[in-house]
Amino acid sequence: MTISNRIRFSHKYFKMPESFFFKDREAKSFLIGISVCDISQLPKEFLDWDTEYDSGNGLAYYKLPKGKVLMLIIFTKQENSVSECWTTIRSHNPQKEEYYRNLIGQEFKIEVELYEAKPEDYI
């Protein structure tokens, strides 16, 4: 079965289920909900967890937009492993919100397009 829905990431984040770190592990991911919130209302601990990754030169954190954001809630069913719910924060606009709301319950392919960290990304 071909999956046309995709959620792209620029890094392999620590929050991601382990199947995304091993090529021989199968996983199915589904968008199960979205929430619109102001980033200033989210705890720093959660934002750190959501954005932390290993840049190859140390820990780094993805820079999030200010103001209103979309929090996507993803369920990943991993073969021979624990299934997990996890999140990703995306910039908000009405079109993007409608797009994701119309895809709740559908399967997504998670794609990681590695990006080279900049010095300001490091802690």
Q: What is the pLDDT of residues 9-50, one digit of tens each?
A: 888 888 888 776 666 667 788 999 999 999 999 999 999 999
Q: Is the dihedral of CA 38, 40, 42, 48 positive or negative?
A: positive
pLDDT at 102: 93
pLDDT in tens, 55-72: 888 899 999 999 999 999
Total-model pTM: 0.81
Residue 120 placed within a domain: no
Residue 28 placed within a domain: yes
Give the residue with greater pLDDT, 84 vs 119: 84
Count how many domains the chain has: 1
Residue 123 placed within a domain: no
Instruction: Judge contact between 109 and 74, C-beta under 8 A.
Output: no
Residue 48 placed within a domain: yes
Q: Which residue range(s) make up the domain with 34?
A: 6-115
pLDDT in tens, 106-123: 998 888 776 454 555 444
Encoded tokens for 11: 């890094």
Separation between Cα atoms, residue 33 and residue 80, nearest integer Å: 25
In the numeric block, the tokens 């990943």 are attached to: 76
Separation between Cα atoms, residue 33 and residue 73, nearest integer Å: 5
pLDDT at 120: 55
pLDDT at position 8 over 70: yes
Pairing of strands 6-9, 107-112: parallel
Residue 61 placed within a domain: yes
